[in-house]
Amino acid sequence: MILSNLTELTISMQAKRDPHYNGMDPPGSLRQAASILLLWAISLLLAVAIADAETVSFLDGRIRFYPAQVEGDRILIPSAQLPAGNEEVLLLYHKTDLLHLRLLQKETVLPKAMAHPLPHYVYGLTEGRLADPKAQFLVAVGMEISSLLQWKAADAMRSEQSASTCMIPDKGFVITGLQVLISKELNAKVYYLQEEIRQSTSDMTLDGDENSGASMKEIVGMVESEDSCRVLAYNTSDAYGLQNSGSLEPVGPITGIMELSTGRSTERWLVLRSAMREVWGYTFVELLPRPLKRGPKRRFLLEDRG
């Protein structure tokens, strides 16, 4: 449609160059040109958004991450092009597993589990089978990345389901979900807290709570000591599940922590399994060491599960 409109615009411009052209614009030609340019700009933005949503990269693009769809004994990965022959394809699995994947076919398929599927390449494990074929996993692609990437899934960190002073719910709210994990490498606890408004509306009328319009809150933070608490990301939602305030990227339960090291520097990122409205994906939150000189960076990797 855009191509045909551009063709019409080209013909109109050629007509103006004709010596018999009387200098009068055809009716609505300017409006048509403006609308065509607007549609073209929107299409470019959508194309860029889709491309960005399929992958996120770290270490100057040396490591790319994709969401994996698991169907039966196959692992499906959205990718704009096939990885090069010298690139590794690793599955970030439970515990500390980084499993190598092998390409099963060069042709792409459309995942059955997705509402709006994009072409996915078909992979399989080099050895072994997945314990949970319905689970969702991340895939890392790049050259010689086994030595650059370390992964520790949430089930590899000792769990302690007890709230500290950092995890007390706000006035008028109660805790409906809590995940507390201890990271020995960070010498700290990381936590995911979900709290919802109490059923009794009378509790929310006290003190004119400024967040009284929110019915749910999701908070991700780090506890380095009882008097040192850091909120890394948060969202509030109203009764319709719409994001009201907080981080632009969605917040959700902790999937794990990945460490990226080039020998000269080391980065650690908290990976969240997150959803906003009907959009699922992974949110990456940077874990910065003390003293803090800036806020943590955040990245979101879209996954369409319908």
| pLDDT tens, residue by residue, 143-166 | 999 999 999 999 898 776 666 788
Single-letter amino acid, residue 88: E
In this structure, how many other beta carbons lie within 10 angstroms of the beta carbon of residue 261?
14
pLDDT in tens, 62-77: 999 999 888 888 899 9
CB 55 within 8 A of CB 79: yes
Helix, strand, coil percentages for the chain (3-state, nearest 5): 20, 45, 40
- Residues shown for the chain: 306
CA distance 226 to 254: 21
Query: What predicted TM-score, i.e. pTM, was given to this entire model?
Result: 0.75
* pLDDT reported for residue 306: 56
Is CATH 2.40.30.170 what the domain over 57-145 is classified as, yes or no?
yes
Band (pLDDT 50/70/90 cuts) for residue 292 is: confident
pLDDT at 42: 35
139 touches 151 (CB < 8 A): no
Mean pLDDT of the chain: 76
